[in-house]
Amino acid sequence: MISEVYNCDNMELMAKYPDNHWELAICDPPYGIGIDGQKEDKATNRKAHDFKGWDNAIPSKEYFNELFRVSINQIIWGGNYFFDYLGNTRCVLTWDKIQEFSGSDFELAWTSFDKCAKTFRMSRAQAYCNQNKIHPTQKPVRLYQWLLANYAKEGDKILDTHLGSGSSRIAAQEMKFDFVGCELDKDYFEAAEFRYQEHIKQLILF
């Protein structure tokens, strides 16, 4: 099983691969809404994250063109911010966070699949309780496991062009999918790598 990650620009990574190399790309690109960091809020158990500026704009049309070139199918979080580039789909996915709070009650993903729309339900409290949240837009491993269980087939190769906290990589490892991911920010990349290695250690212990 392959699990490879790179601290590099995703356009440079994708340029190295032939058409349709990955069966499935699962990505969470910047939404362009400026929430790449946050201040600590003890009342809501929110951890502080540095504002780095990566969420000031959405990816370019060229990024989406290249993503569609190298992957057969795609699941793209924040799809409601990228409609100009993605086109129509009947298979939207949502993560219902169950609880109402100041941010979004759910997140939406665009997909390339011709299937019914579906919802994954997991509360924010359950997603982040006792978690060392290393990225301001971190998604739970269980969400990625649900995606892989429902939208990937045995033997599929998985791509993530915005690795972030590395939840997608851990899910792919748990479910025995070959995985390649990249993250441009060195701090996030190193934190995600540490998180993955700690996860592997726990598996070895048991």
DSSP secondary structure of 108-152: EEEES--S--EEEE--HHHHHTT----STT---HHHHHHHHHHH-
Burial class (CB in 10 A: 0-12, 13-18, 19+), 144: buried
How far apart (Å, rounded) are the C-alpha atoms in residues 92 and 116?
A: 8
Encode pLDDT of 147-204 as tens digits.
999 999 999 999 999 999 999 999 999 999 999 999 999 999 999 999 999 999 876 6
Percent of the chain residues past pLDDT 90, beyond the cut: 72
DSSP state of 2: -
Write down the residue that tokens 């972030």 correspond to: 164
pTM of the model: 0.90
SS3 14: helix
Nearest to 147 by CA among 180, 125, 174: 174
How far apart (Å, rounded) are the C-alpha atoms in residues 54 and 30?
A: 7
Q: How many CA atoms lie within 13 A of 121 on its CB side?
A: 2
Q: Which fold has domain 3-33+54-205?
A: Rossmann fold (3.40.50)
Encode pLDDT of 78-101 as tens digits.
999 998 999 999 999 999 999 877
DSSP state of 48: P
